[in-house]
A and B are shown apart, each in its own frame.
Chain A
Amino acid sequence: METAEEITKEAAVIETVSEEKVKYTVETEGLTVSFKGREAINDINIKIRANTVTSIIGPSGCGKSTFLRSLNFMHDLTPGAKVKGTIKIHNKNIDEYDMTEVRRRVGMVFQKPNPFPTMNIYDNVVAGIIMNKGKKRNELNEIVEQSLELAGLWEEVKDRLKVSAMALSGGQQQRLCIARTLAVNPEIILFDEPTSALDPISTSKIEETLFHLKNKYTIVIVTHNMQQAARVSDYTAYFFLGKLIEYARTRTIFTSPREKLTEDYVTGRFG
């Protein structure tokens, strides 16, 4: 029987061999983000593979969310924020794209569910589509059903699509937000601690959804819950004090990490 070390070495070999054939949807080089002069993340170099779930872990304040939000220009909203380095989406530099185009193709689900309060469930799901380009009614109905189905919410709300979004529970609202993001047909979906505000049952429902989504999308999820990272992701990146310490297959990170800092964190010695 192979030891853990041997398996890891094997995996590393396999990876280096097929390096050229691998599709990366998101790549960053030297990514540095600072707020009013203070650096939040520094020199992040990472390559995220297509159709995988990558989780970003690390103690509070290590820069996980900052990294995530730089991938879809969210820092544009923050006064005093400077984003430096290179970010590539599908091998093209991010600033060669139209900003709103980037945001449509790179979707984001936030920590606290934020459906639009003045709209009902149906309108929430199609909000992104209607505002981006007009589509016919029957097309919309189809999209609504597909998105809610994929988000794991269809069965629960199919009879009350015209009910206000605020009438749903926290877990349902979050799945609604996922459906809303799916409706605009992104390629990459970023999740910023999506279940930290939810109860265990909603959490497991959403983790199930993540598993199904992997086939069509590339997923990056920030989580402070290591068990969640171990459950849902293929790759894991460990951030600490604004630096990327280690990035490898999830199994490797949790069973035989290369860096001592990583080991200290995943074994619970601190953080």
Chain B
Amino acid sequence: MNTKTTVEIKEIKARKKLSDLFFENLTLVFALMIIGLVVFIIYEMFMDSKLSREIFGFGFIFSQDWNPVKDKFGALTFVYGTLISSIIALAISLPVSIGVAVYLSELAANVFKTAISFLIEILAAIPSIVYGFWGIFVLAPFMRTTVQPFLQSTLGFLPIFQGNAVGFGLLTAGIILAIMVTPIITAITRDVLKAIPTSQREAAYALGATKWEAIKMALLNAKGGILGATVLGLGRAVGETMAVTMVIGNKAQIKASLFEPSYSMASVIANEFAEASGGLHISSLIEVGLILFAVTFIINSFARLLIYSFTRKTEAK
């Protein structure tokens, strides 16, 4: 029989060995280094851009100036270039990625599934420089000789398709970015579709839905996750450097036409940093970097929030 205890009960705490505490703190130190790194990066970007921030103030973001000789700098051109090329990339990549994701999760036979997802993985791993190189010698000429003339002849009334078609410009940059960003959006969309239980699809079929209608329903269910994947892809596109640098034309200007050469935030840093003339030039470049960092930070945090809340929703179901 179990007798009742009348004395006060206190908690039993195990005594940790010294060696265990040492190990735990050792790993903690390394883990804290990561926090230290990120904090330090932010701090350094801030400090090293001080000169240009003080001189140009907030107007830096809205100024189209970029003149190393006259020491006048502004980030608007680059923000524009980054933004437009990334939007083009997403516009092309999103439908394709969803299509591939649907193919991989719903349609493909096992053999093709492994082969094609392996190929997509490789697509994600190809270095940016190789994309850029291929862009210069294959894509840009192709754009100049085939695609851009075609677009001009058919949709030339639109301002975005007017102007000189040299092959290097926003549109080409957007296309290369689209290729680079597709694997990410595909991978996450595929995971997100897998997370939706088959019972939901079965319910749709039982109601007489066609295959596409069932898929569409799954996609609608997954739209939070797909949005998150897209935003993540946007983050990647915004930060992409080499491939864009090699095909965007590297001319600091804002023009309506997508065929015109332009400049992105990452590209101007890549091109001008090593041989920057003088403190203000470098400081301005670093301020552009600070803006780039802020933009990617916001985008990535938003993406993670979306994916996190979507995962929570599906787990709760």
Contact = CB atoms under 8 A, between A and B. Distances in A.
A100 interface: yes
A32 B15 contact: no
Interface in A193-212: none
Contact of A43 (B4, B11, B16, B17): B4
Interface in A14-66: 29-30, 32, 43-46
A188 interface: no
Contacts of A44: 2
B5 A29 contact: yes
A112 interface: no
Contacts of B1: 246-248, 258-259
Interface residues of A, number: 30
B14 interface: yes
B9 interface: yes
Interface stretch (A82-90, A116-124, A154-162, A224-232): A82-90
A87 B12 contact: yes
Interface in A77-121: 82-87, 94-95, 97-100, 102
Residue of B11, B14, B16 with most chain A CB atoms under a 10 A cut-off? B14
A74 to B, nearest CB: 10
Interface in A204-258: 243-248, 258
Contact of B11 (A46, A82, A243): A82
A73 B1 CA distance: 25
Contacts of A5: none
A247 B3 CA distance: 11
B13 A32 contact: no
B206 interface: no
A76 interface: yes
A191 to B, nearest CB: 22
Interface string B1-44: 11111010111111111000000000000000000000000000
B14 A43 contact: no
Contacts of B4: 43
Contacts of A73: 14
Contacts, number: 55
Interface in B222-253: none
Given A30-B5, A245-B2, A84 B14 contact: no
A98 B9 contact: no
Contacts of A246: 1-2
A95 B5 contact: no
A205 to B, nearest CB: 34
A53 B2 CA distance: 19
B14 A76 contact: yes
Contacts of B17: 98-100
A99 B14 contact: yes
B9 A32 contact: yes
B13 A95 contact: yes
A247 B5 CA distance: 16
Contacts of A243: 2
Given A243-B2, A247-B1, A30 B11 contact: no
A244 B14 contact: no
Interface of B: 1-5, 7, 9-17
26 contacts: A29-B7, A30-B5, A30-B7, A30-B9, A43-B4, A45-B2, A45-B3, A45-B5, A46-B2, A73-B14, A82-B11, A84-B9, A84-B10, A84-B11, A85-B5, A85-B12, A86-B9, A86-B12, A98-B17, A99-B15, A99-B16, A99-B17, A243-B2, A245-B2, A247-B2, A259-B1
